[in-house]
Structure 1
Amino acid sequence: MHDTALRSWGDSFRAFIHPRVITMLFMGLSAGIPILLIFSTLSIWLREAGVERSTVTYFSWAALGYSFKFVWAPLIDRLPFPILHGALGRRRSWLIIAQCAIIGAILWMGFTDPTENLTTMAFAAVALGFASATQDIVIDAYRIEAADTDLQAMMSSAYIGGYRIGMIVAGAGALTIAGLFEAEGSYEPIAWTIAYGCMALAMGIGVITTLIIREPTVNRTDSKYFHKTSDYGRFLLMFALTVIAFIIANIYASDLTEPLKTALVENGMIDGLAGFIAGFLKLAISVAAAILFAWLTTRIGVTPTGMVQETYVAPVKDFIDRYGKAAIVVLALIGVYRIADIVMGVMANVFYTDLGFSKEEIAAVSKTFGLFMTIAGSFLGGLLSVRYGVVRILFLGALLSAITNILFAIMAHLGPNTIMFAGVIMADNLSGGLATTAFIAYLSGLTNISFTAMQYAIFSSIMTLFPKILAGFSGSVVDALGYSWFFIGTALIGIPVLYLVVLAGRLMTQNTAEKAAHAAAITEDG
């Protein structure tokens, strides 16, 4: 397997106190706060305000920006933000803008009473999702550019640790603050205003960190096109028109996909599969319409063809050129590496409840104890990756993730055994944190500094797409086979991942050797 040489334990532990690593702890906290303010914390607020359960679930769509951030990631890579770019640099200027937008969106939500204006709350939640996804794009790019490959694993572990701490702040922290300002069983909007106001204040940690840190020094290929204000304006116009085309197509595609879903169900297909097919077709139509519109605007001269190619095509071409035949295997590995975790994870809370554990036990063991185990696993993953190399720990993480799913199958036969529950959660979350840290470091090493934000955004989208699609059928599989066989199945589908890790490592080593031989041949000829 392609990897770096072994390092001493002293070097590994010293990486913990590297300034860039400490920086990523605070950046991770800044990234972890917004996500729960859209999901679980907001859900509790809306239910307390009397919003229907079906309406509450729609608010999860506010975070769709996380899945489609690769669409505007090139803008972050290519467009210097006016005025601030000269004062702070490319990454720090976009970070400040994103963080200020997050603070503004959190305050917008905090000062909106969902009982009076649910639509305004929806717009504020969407704004928070978009701003938070933008911050993630910039942080990912900063992390990759701020340190050498050798330090990426520890940077990733610090980021994950900070992210989980941010989730604690926005989850338990926000709920505790809201509880202090309202009576038991009553709904007081001011309590949630104060809670969200405190979360906006907590985002100040990210702002202060951004102002203190130094801009990464990188040798980036400058754009051939983004030099004049008119160029920026034309490109943003094309982007805005394409987004509008996507939204309009998505709305009208329902006229086609809803009858299709009904017809499929009437002909015996399960509702979940019919909904997936209809939803996938709706998304495909919308994406096709957006691509067609982008092509048309380019053809009529709204945006130069070279500008679009440099922004969207060049990052993909660069990746294929650098890795050759290994590129397909690497992309396949990215697409399935987290499959065992994600497919199993979607049924975890339902499993705990069906097994007979109380909400209090689930909260204490899975959410609180498990969260600290994930943080511990992430730092262990960073330490071991620095010591033994990222690819070795990538393999170990995939192996442990598959093995721990077998523990869930055993747990299904034991009933609500709290000791077993804690042991399984410890093993699962430690291995999950370790695997995620190694995986993020691996993805970071695949990017080209010239296209950092775009390439990493593509990788991070690919890594959850197929597993999440497959996870949508988890409930049907459990109904058909039971929990034990379901968990054994999730362990088995993790086995091919081990082969892909080995194969990708071998091909990348071969690719590196071929490039070195080619360079040597050119030198001799010269």
Structure 2
Amino acid sequence: MSPPVAPYSGMPAIRDRYAAIFRSLADRRHVLMLVFGFSSGLPFLLVFGTLSAWLREAGVSRTEIGLLSWVALAYSFKFVWAPAVDGLDPPLLARWLGRRRAWMMLAQCGVAAGLIGVAMSDPAVFLPGLIGFALLVALASATQDVAVDGWRINAAPQDGQAMLAAIYQLGYRLALLCSGAGALYIADFVDWRSAYLAMAVLMLVGMAGVLAAPRLAEDTAPSRQRSWRATIGEAIVEPFTDLARRKGSSLILILALIALYRLPDFVAGVMANPLYIDMGFSKSEIASVSKVFGVWVGIAGAFVGGVAAARFSVMPCLVFGGVAAAASNLMFAWLAVRGHDLTLLTLSISLDNFASGFAGSVLIAYMSGLTSPTMAATQYALLSSLYALPGKFVGGASGLLADKVGYPWFFICTALVGAPIALLSLAVWRLERRAARARRLPERSPEPEADAAREGAG
């Protein structure tokens, strides 16, 4: 008599997996991550796109506005002071809030103070003063990013990082909506000073989140006072050595993947607004489609990326996200050939923002999984700086390439970067599967072989 066939349990397992995903949305940490994402995203445009509009309106030359972009290096080199955020307690605040939250509160106060300083400045009278306050905002904002990333990585296990990353992206993009379209609307109806003062007030949202957040175990770890005397080289080498020890030779491919993964977005993004202007789109059309509608599409992409990574694991989603984000640039090549077409503009921005949001969430989850809990903030700052630096440097030459080959071929070239991204993603995925299989495989025992030899002899 044949044994009874066990009922197929795949559907209940899938149903339980999705139920767990949606139950997790009510987790207190996810609400806090939404707040921290908002607080991290709010200052970004206020020292770049939004500030550039104010400076240009005040008569500042394009050359001076371009030089102001060097303020972005604060975000790219945040790994230099990330060890201090990982291992040192801010005086007074750390005793009250714990290390992570103390750094977040200190950075948020710095951002608010810098925004107030920018609001009270007049670029037409004394531009260096305004740039100095903008630099304070960028430095404090980059420090906040380090502290928030450390808190996020320590607040949940690896299988919970994808959803946290998606919710962080949601908060971040909502903040971009406020500091982009919101600030421009306030400046249009009132003035620039009121716009920046309003953004400074919105930093209270992040401060409230800090006060509501629980204190993590890492917040009470002994402070590594040695770091005050450590050189910059030591601060960078120690976390990198830990990564190399855990990942071995596969770290080379991993770093190459991270460096290239968002390159098409960074390079194409520099030429996106010039393309819209040259195609004859009005500023209102660009603002409505890109700054408002596009943000919500990006939020949807970030959520889908987080849910997909939680459901299917990070690596297959990393392959899909990298290829989709690069391929979406082909839509801009089509737009450059087609010309002024509002429907095609909307479709292009929709596909690009959705793919970028998806890829961004998955990459955050992947990089978070590479870090060690004891050096989470430092290692994540190193990895996130790596993925941002190539795009910023190569993006500076994007105008030269666009002038030489024209918009259609420029965006086709950026899309072709998706090919090596796909190959690197597949190679890293294969290495990860091999490493996981090696961890699960028990050591072989000689007894079965001996038994087989005895049976053969008999």
Structure 1 pair 58–430 and aligned structure 2 pair: CA distance change class (3 A): same
Structure 1 pair 331–436 and aligned structure 2 pair: CA distance change class (3 A): same
Structure 2 Cα separation of the partners of residues 406 and 345 of structure 1: 13
CA contact (8 A) 2:181 2:291 kept: no
What is the one-letter code of the residue matched to 2:213? I
Aligned: 1:343 with 2:267: yes
Indicate the residue corresponding to 2:370 in structure 1: 446
Structure 1 Cα separation of the partners of residues 383 and 304 of structure 2: 23
Indicate the residue corresponding to 1:329 in structure 2: 253
Indicate the residue corresponding to 1:88 in structure 2: 97
Structure 2 Cα separation of the partners of residues 352 and 179 of structure 1: 21
Deviates more, 1:93-102 or 1:408-417: 408-417
Report the 3-state secondary structure (helix = DSSP H, G, I; strand = E; otherwise coil) of the residue aligned with 1:451: helix
Indicate the residue corresponding to 2:211 in structure 1: 211
Residue 448 (structure 1) shift: 0.4
2:391 pairs with one of 467, 486, 511: 467
Structure 1 pair 144–117 and aligned structure 2 pair: CA distance change class (3 A): same
What is the one-letter code of the residue matched to 2:259? G
Residue 26 (structure 1) shift: 0.9
Residue 219 (structure 1) shift: 9.8
Structure 2 Cα separation of the partners of residues 120 and 520 of structure 1: 69
Aligned: 1:373 with 2:262: no
Name stretches of at least 5 consecutive residues in structure 1 with no aligned partner: 182-190, 240-293, 295-307, 522-526
Residue 455 (structure 1) shift: 0.6
Structure 1 pair 466–48 and aligned structure 2 pair: CA distance change class (3 A): closer
Q: How does 1:391-470 map to 2 (within 5 A)?
A: 391-470=315-394
Indicate the residue corresponding to 2:411 in structure 1: 487
What TM-score do you get using the length of structure 1 for normalisation? 0.77
Indicate the residue corresponding to 1:499 in structure 2: 423
What is the one-letter code of the residue matched to 2:215? E
Structure 1 Cα separation of the partners of residues 131 and 444 of structure 2: 59
Report the 3-state secondary structure (helix = DSSP H, G, I; strand = E; otherwise coil) of the residue aligned with 2:25: helix
1:477 pairs with one of 383, 401, 405: 401
Give the root-mean-square deviation of aligned CA atoms.
2.4
CA contact (8 A) 1:339 1:494 kept: no
Indicate the residue corresponding to 2:242 in structure 1: 318
Cα deviation digits, residues 291-313 of structure 1 (max 9, x gap): xxx6xxxxxxxxxxxxx74x332
Indicate the residue corresponding to 2:35 in structure 1: 26
Structure 1 pair 520–146 and aligned structure 2 pair: CA distance change class (3 A): farther
Aligned: 1:39 with 2:48: yes
Residue 385 (structure 1) shift: 1.3
Indicate the residue corresponding to 1:16 in structure 2: 25
Indicate the residue corresponding to 2:10 in structure 1: none
Indicate the residue corresponding to 1:194 in structure 2: 194
CA contact (8 A) 1:402 1:494 kept: yes
Structure 1 pair 61–340 and aligned structure 2 pair: CA distance change class (3 A): closer
Structure 1 Cα separation of the partners of residues 303 and 296 of structure 2: 11
CA contact (8 A) 1:95 1:138 kept: yes
Residue 421 (structure 1) shift: 1.6
What TM-score do you get using the length of structure 2 for normalisation? 0.88
Structure 1 pair 479–103 and aligned structure 2 pair: CA distance change class (3 A): closer
Structure 2 Cα separation of the partners of residues 70 and 30 of structure 1: 20
Name the count of aligned residue pairs.
432
Cα deviation digits, residues 234-259 of structure 1 (max 9, x gap): 52xx77xxxxxxxxxxxxxxxxxxxx
Report the 3-state secondary structure (helix = DSSP H, G, I; strand = E; otherwise coil) of the residue aligned with 1:204: helix
What is the one-letter code of the residue matched to 2:246? R
Residue 520 (structure 1) shift: 9.4
Indicate the residue corresponding to 2:121 in structure 1: 112
Structure 2 Cα separation of the partners of residues 466 and 508 of structure 1: 25
Indicate the residue corresponding to 1:58 in structure 2: 67
CA contact (8 A) 1:220 1:449 kept: no
Indicate the residue corresponding to 1:290 in structure 2: none
Structure 1 pair 353–197 and aligned structure 2 pair: CA distance change class (3 A): closer
CA contact (8 A) 2:79 2:236 kept: no
What is the one-letter code of the residue matched to 1:359? K
Aligned: 1:388 with 2:312: yes
What is the one-letter code of the residue matched to 2:361? T
Indicate the residue corresponding to 2:142 in structure 1: 133
Residue 90 (structure 1) shift: 1.1
Structure 2 Cα separation of the partners of residues 346 and 518 of structure 1: 51
Structure 1 pair 479–177 and aligned structure 2 pair: CA distance change class (3 A): closer
Report the 3-state secondary structure (helix = DSSP H, G, I; strand = E; otherwise coil) of the residue aligned with 1:203: helix
Structure 1 Cα separation of the partners of residues 67 and 400 of structure 2: 22
Report the 3-state secondary structure (helix = DSSP H, G, I; strand = E; otherwise coil) of the residue aligned with 1:8: helix
Residue 93 (structure 1) shift: 0.8
What is the one-letter code of the residue matched to 1:45? W
Deviates more, 1:90-99 or 1:34-43: 34-43
Report the 3-state secondary structure (helix = DSSP H, G, I; strand = E; otherwise coil) of the residue aligned with 2:217: coil
Report the 3-state secondary structure (helix = DSSP H, G, I; strand = E; otherwise coil) of the residue aligned with 1:17: coil
Structure 1 pair 477–115 and aligned structure 2 pair: CA distance change class (3 A): closer
CA contact (8 A) 1:152 1:441 kept: yes
What is the one-letter code of the residue matched to 2:106? I
What is the one-letter code of the residue matched to 1:371? V
Task: Using the aligned pairs only, state the percent identity.
Answer: 41
CA contact (8 A) 2:100 2:219 kept: no
Structure 2 Cα separation of the partners of residues 468 and 44 of structure 1: 20
Structure 1 pair 351–319 and aligned structure 2 pair: CA distance change class (3 A): same
What is the one-letter code of the residue matched to 1:331? L
Deviates more, 1:443-452 or 1:352-361: 352-361
CA contact (8 A) 2:83 2:377 kept: yes
Cα deviation digits, residues 138-160 of structure 1 (max 9, x gap): 01111111111111111111111
CA contact (8 A) 1:408 1:487 kept: yes
Indicate the residue corresponding to 2:58 in structure 1: 49
Deviates more, 1:26-35 or 1:56-65: 56-65
Structure 1 Cα separation of the partners of residues 194 and 292 of structure 2: 24
Report the 3-state secondary structure (helix = DSSP H, G, I; strand = E; otherwise coil) of the residue aligned with 2:356: helix
Deviates more, 1:367-376 or 1:339-348: 339-348
Structure 2 Cα separation of the partners of residues 217 and 133 of structure 1: 23
Structure 1 Cα separation of the partners of residues 341 and 122 of structure 2: 42
Structure 1 pair 192–490 and aligned structure 2 pair: CA distance change class (3 A): closer
Structure 2 Cα separation of the partners of residues 178 and 485 of structure 1: 37
Residue 515 (structure 1) shift: 4.7
Structure 1 pair 103–508 and aligned structure 2 pair: CA distance change class (3 A): same
Deviates more, 1:30-39 or 1:358-367: 358-367
Structure 1 pair 111–161 and aligned structure 2 pair: CA distance change class (3 A): same
